[in-house]
Amino acid sequence: MRLSYPTNIKVVKVPCTGRVDVLTMLKAFEAGADGIYVAGCLEGECHFLKGNLRARKRVNYLKTLLAELGIEPERAAIYNLSSAQGQRFAQIAEEMTGIVRALGPSPIRKHNAEETPAGAQA
């Protein structure tokens, strides 16, 4: 398909979004990520039944932690798409980059010494 998506996205592969823990996502912010999003399978189509539903709850919980930290909860998101939806993947990447760009750099990154990734995705 040769679709392109923003180069500032760092992809972190996991076997299932059910593997994505709150701490994993928090660590991305700690390292200076401006935002993160989880790309899970379509709801109802998880190979492990509920991995993507659990991931959604964890992202929601992460948002409460971010709010407590005074970091915009919109910097974290979860999307559902199938592995056949390349087009949608690129579209989401653009969308999320737009949201994060509008919010500006993460308040953490300003203080991180070395250059850190602008975004991480699982």
The site for other proteins (CB under 8 A) is made up of 21-23, 26-27, 29-30, 65, 68-71, 107-108, 110-112
- Which of the 8 DSSP states describes residue 39? E
Dihedral angle of Cα 108, 110, 111, 113, to the nearest 10 degrees: 120
User: Which residues are paired to 79 by β-bridges?
Assistant: 39
Minimum CB separation of residue 105 from other proteins in Å reads: 12
In the complex with other proteins, which residue's Cβ is closer, 47 or 57? 57
Minimum CB separation of residue 5 from other proteins in Å reads: 27
In the complex with other proteins, which residue's Cβ is closer, 42 or 69? 69
Minimum CB separation of residue 37 from other proteins in Å reads: 18
Q: How many residues does the chain have?
A: 122
Q: What is the CA radius of gyration of the chain?
A: 14
In the complex with other proteins, which residue's Cβ is closer, 13 or 111? 111
How far, in Å, CA of 82 to CA of 120, rounded? 19
The residue written with tokens 């996205």 in the block is 9
Minimum CB separation of residue 43 from other proteins in Å reads: 20
In the complex with other proteins, which residue's Cβ is closer, 29 or 89? 29
